[in-house]
Structure formats: C-alpha cells, structure tokens
Amino acid sequence: MKVSENTSVAMPIKNMLMIIAGVVAGVFAYTELTSRLTSLETSRELFSSDLLKKSEQVPTDQEQFMLLEHMASQIEELENEMQGMRNNTVNLNRAMEDIKNIELNIENMKDKIRNNGNHQ
C-alpha cells in the first residue's frame, strides 16, 4: 500500500465525529488539569509565604505572648482561690450560726446562775 497526499481514506462520519469529540474532550481535560495544578501551586506558595511571615516574630510579639501566658496562669490561680473562698464562705456561715447558738447558751447559763443566787 502506497501512502501519499492523494491517498483517500474512506471513513464513516460517525467515526470521524467520535474522534473529534475525543480530541475535544482530551483538550478540555488537559486545560482543566493544568488550571487546577496552577491553582493548587499558587495556594501552596501563598500558604508557605504566609507561614514564613508568621514565623518571623518580632520581639514585641514575643513579649505579648509571654504576657498572655503569664496572665493566663494568674487567672487560673485566681479561679482556684475563688473556689476555695466559696468553701470558706460556707464554713464561715456555719461558724457564725454556731457562735450565735453558743452566745444563747451562755446567756441562758448566766441567767440560770443569777437565778440560783436569787432563790437562796
């Protein structure tokens, strides 16, 4: 078989349309793939540059972080102290009630002692 410029190829139109559709789909898929890769590479580069910028802390930032950590520890200590004070309030209220009862008992005892002296 000799192939030249004048060689004719007989092909059904259905097959030709399928080949053209396949080529169009391939080009479209390639374009979408390269677009997605470019987008992902750009996102990665932006993320890397942002991460590098954030990692370069100036002394002011470091001082602020240290102050925040110090304040957080102080707040925790205050919370623990407040919890202890809640228990103290309950204990103090109970002690005040006991003191009032003791005062009443002492007054009653004083009255009984005074009355003992008057009956004789």
Looking at the predicted structure, is the pLDDT value of residue 1 above 70? no
What single string gives the DSSP state of each residue in 2-39? ---TT------HHHHHHHHHHHHHHHHHHHHHHHHHHH
What pLDDT, in 10s, does the model give residues 44-84?
988 888 877 766 666 777 788 889 999 999 999 998 888 87
Question: Phi-psi category of 118—alpha, beta or left, where left has phi over 0 and alpha has psi -120 to 50?
Answer: alpha
Domain ranges of the chain: 13-56, 58-120
This prediction has a pTM of 0.37
Backbone angles phi, psi at 7, to 5 degrees: -70, 130
Give the lowest-confidence range in 13-17, 78-82, 116-120.
116-120
